Structure formats: C-alpha cells, structure tokens
Amino acid sequence: MAETADVVIIGSGIVGSSVAYNLAQQGCTNVLVIEREAHQGKGSTGKSMGGVRAQFTTTVNIQMSIYSINFFATFDEVVGHPADYRAHGYLFCATTERHLDYLKTNRTLQQSLGLKNVELVSREDILGMVPQLKADDIIGGTYCNTDGFVDPHSVMMGFMLNARERGVRLWLDTEVTGIDVDNGRITGVQTSRGHVSTPVVVNAAGAWAAGVAKMAGAELPVEPLRRQLVPTEPFDGLPKRFPMVIDMSTGFHFRREGKGILLAWNDPEETPGFKTDFDNTFVEKILTRAAARVPCLADAAVNPRRAWAGLYEMTPDHHSIIGPAPNVKGLFFVNGFSGHGVMHSPASGRITADLVLSNHSDLVDAMQLSVERFKTGKLLHETAVL
Ligand SMILES: Cc1cc2nc3c(=O)[nH]c(=O)nc-3n(C[C@H](O)[C@H](O)[C@H](O)COP(=O)(O)OP(=O)(O)OC[C@H]3O[C@@H](n4cnc5c(N)ncnc54)[C@H](O)[C@@H]3O)c2cc1C
C-alpha cells in the first residue's frame, strides 16, 4: 500500500523531534519522521555542548530562550522523560568598557522582556563563583541563574518518545532523496524506502538543510561550519559546580562535564564546509586560551582522542529560519540555528507546529524569522554567538 502522511519531517535531531512532539500535542499525529542514520542524534545534536541561555541580544532570541528554558524546567513532568536541565547559570566576563556596556545594554532588553534575574556582577562576585580565574583584567560581567545546561540526547529522545507514544512514526536508516512538487505544491517525498505522499514537508535537516531545500527547488542560506570541543580528563582544580564561564576577551568558554571540564572556543579561522574530523592542532590553541584565563587549567590532562567536532548550521544573520518557503506551498523550514538549536528546540518546534497547523504563532512574531528576510534585507543581527 502507498505510504501517506499529513506531515513528513526530514531529520530526527532535536529540532525534528520537537516539531514531531509539538504537532502531536496539537492533535496532528499522522506524521512521519524520516532519518537517514540508523540512530537519532548522529547529526549536530549529538555533538552539542548542551548550553541553554537567555542572555541574547535580540528580542526574538530572548523570547525563544525564555519560553524554552521554562519548558526545560518542567520537561520531565510535561514530556514524561528526563531533560537533565541544570540551572548552573551563564557568567559573561568583560575585560573592556565596550564589552561591559554591551552586556548592560543587553541586560536592559532582557529585563524588559521579563528576564528579571540577569544580574550585573563585579570582579569580586565573579571570583566568588570561580576563584581560580585570573581576574586582574576583568571589570565586571553578567550572570543569569536560570541559564545552564541540558542533555541534548535526552531532550531529543524525550520529544520523540512522547510523539511516538501519540502515534507519530519514525523511519530510521531511510534517506530522503527527492521532494515532489506539482504546480508549486508539495505532493510527496522520495526515499530509499520508497515514495510517501504528503502535502506538507518540514525541513529539519540541520547542517544539510540547504541540500534538502534544493530538492524542492527552494533556496535556503544555511551553511555548515565546524565547531570543536575538548574535554579534559578528571580535574578537581575547579569547583564541582560552577556556571558556564565566557571570557569575552577571547571567546573561550568552559563548564564542568562530569569529573572533567569541557573547553570550547570558536576558531575565527574556521571556514565553512562539511568538516567533522577533529583537528589535533586545535588542542594547543584552546589550551593556550584556557590557561591564560584559568591558570590551573595548564595542569589539566587532555586526550585528543576524546575531543570531537560537529557542525553549526549558520545563516548570514546568525538567526534561525522558521516558516513556510515562499514559492513551494507545503514546504516549511526550521533551520539555521547558528549554534543555538538545542536551547531553542522547545520554541522552534512549537512555532513550526503552530505555523503548519494554523499559519500563525502567538509565541513570537514569526514573520521575522521567515527566509524572505534575506530578500527584503530585514536581517536580525544576533551578536552573542558562542
Ligand atoms: C560542537 C557543537 C557545540 C554546540 N553547542 C551548543 C550549545 O551549547 N547549545 C545549543 O543550543 N546548541 C549547540 N550546538 C548547536 C546544536 O547542536 C544544533 O543547532 C542542533 O543540534 C540542531 O539540531 P537539528 O535537529 O536541526 O540538526 P541535527 O541534529 O543535525 O539533525 C538533522 C538530522 O537530519 C538528518 N538528515 C539530513 N539530511 C537528511 C536526508 N536527506 N534524509 C533523512 N535525514 C536527513 C541528519 O542525519 C540529522 O540526524 C552545538 C553544535 C556543535 C557542533
């Protein structure tokens, strides 16, 4: 019998899983999620640092974070599976007046949108949280105690398990190889398992989304950019619990991961492309920045074989693209999270389900996130990208 679905979602990472969950929540359960890998989480979701924060610079990103972090706080009860949300906070440390002014301006906007718990902190406050920092050049910062971390794999599985309990189907090991469009409308998808008839396709293909959009003849400005993370071996030179610390002078940031420390830094020399191999020369680059801000990290042992790389899915203005494709009726994008797809997954899934089912979302002004902004020039400009 020919396969049919009311909605086909391409990609079962954290974003596709959240869309499936939100559609099912709103009563749309004849949904088929198609994933080319044999297991979920093999794309960017399984490579993520799991950071969640509302300390952004644009209204829409702050709104999406506030909704999402509130959601993570009750995820276990609401979804029925654990998210492992840990509200350990994010601590931004400024070493220049320009950076401190930037944090103050952002805080004013964040507070006006309801995020009252973003605090301005002094060098002494910062040292109170992480005494091991070299802080002689730190002049202040901001701290938000509801920022923190989740376990991306658990969130993705929770969304998908809940959706499947409601009737959503998941095909693993199945690649979407083509999208059928007739008279400007979606009619189905071609897959390695055969044809599926559907009037609606949601592109949740992460860093591969531009290629999927092309299958339907649509343009999507999303490109892959490698990001690398380095975990240390067990290290007790830093507190057992402390916030994600962001050194604004270099962009180096770190948090505790189990018994070790997870080190992150976005190399400005990285160039776009599907590179997922870890570059061993990155270890020295990141350890130099780590030891400059946290001298005791010079003693931390690192095994490069435990380090990894994954892909950010970048857009020109570092904001996600959510909503219908302008020229292909029935095609929806939920792409281009530019490094924030885990933290924004509750909001992006909800907005997408709203748009698919009722053409409107009351969560945010979704028009701003439309792909058409790249034609009209109404870009959003997020600068707090880590
Ligand atoms: C090193 C690193 C650190 C990060 N840290 C953070 C962080 O701290 N906080 C945060 O919020 N975000 C972070 N991110 C970003 C975050 O991981 C991504 O934004 C998010 O995982 C995107 O989820 P997704 O579901 O859209 O994509 P993915 O997880 O990549 O899922 C897309 C899926 O689509 C499938 N697919 C693609 N093409 C096809 C096809 N033709 N047919 C069938 N299936 C297909 C892929 O196999 C994949 O499983 C980080 C990313 C990296 C790489």
Which pLDDT band holds residue 67 (cuts at 50, 70, 90)? very high
At 72-103, the pLDDT tens digits run: 999 999 999 999 999 999 999 999 999 999 99
CA distance readout (Å), 76 to 145, 161, 347: 20, 12, 16
pLDDT at 34: 98
At 198-234, the pLDDT tens digits run: 999 999 999 999 999 999 999 999 999 999 999 999 9
Contact 320 CB / ligand 1 (< 6 Å): no
Which residues is 176 bridged to in the sheet? 191
Q: So what CATH class is 3-49+152-222+316-376?
A: alpha beta
Contact 149 CB / ligand 1 (< 6 Å): no
Q: How large is the average pLDDT for residues 330-348?
A: 98
Of 219, 142, 216, 135, the C-alpha closest to 177 is: 216
Contact 205 CB / ligand 1 (< 6 Å): yes
In degrees, rounded to 5, the angle at the alpha carbon of residue 224 between the alpha carbons of residues 220 and 225 is 140
pLDDT at 124: 98
Is the model's pLDDT at 385 over the cut of 90? Answer: no
Give the span between the Cα atoms of 43 and 34, in whole angstroms.
Answer: 13
pTM of the predicted structure, to 2 decimals: 0.97
Q: What is the residue extent of each domain of the chain?
A: 3-49+152-222+316-376, 87-145+224-314
CA distance readout (Å), 277 to 45, 254, 267, 309: 16, 21, 15, 6
Phi, psi of 141 (to 5 degrees): 180, -170
At 306-319, the pLDDT tens digits run: 999 999 999 999 99
At 36-57, the pLDDT tens digits run: 999 999 999 999 999 999 999 9
Compute the distance from residue 66 Cα to the ligand 1 centre, in Å. 21
Mean of the per-residue pLDDT values of the chain: 97
Phi, psi of 157 (to 5 degrees): -65, -40
Which pLDDT band holds residue 259 (cuts at 50, 70, 90)? very high
Is the model's pLDDT at 370 over the cut of 80? Answer: yes
At 268-284, the pLDDT tens digits run: 999 999 999 999 999 99
Please tell me the residue having the least CA distance from ligand 1 atom 15: 339
Please tell me the residue having the least CA distance from ligand 1 atom 12: 340
Q: How large is the average pLDDT for residues 108-136?
A: 97
Please tell me the residue having the least CA distance from ligand 1 atom 27: 206
Compute the distance from residue 217 Cα to the ligand 1 centre, in Å. 23
In the chain, the percentage of residues whose pLDDT exceeds 70 is: 99
Give the span between the Cα atoms of 340 and 63, in whole angstroms.
Answer: 13
At 2-32, the pLDDT tens digits run: 799 999 999 999 999 999 999 999 999 999 9
Contact 11 CB / ligand 1 (< 6 Å): yes
Which pLDDT band holds residue 361 (cuts at 50, 70, 90)? very high
Q: Which atom of ligand 1 is nearest to the CA of 205?
A: 34
Best CATH choice for the domain 87-145+224-314 from the list 3.30.9.10, 3.30.70.20, 3.40.50.410, 3.40.50.1700: 3.30.9.10
Is the model's pLDDT at 381 over the cut of 80? Answer: no
User: Which of the listed residues 45, 156, 318 should we mutate to test ligand 1's pocket, taking the one with most ligand atoms within 8 A of CB?
Assistant: 45
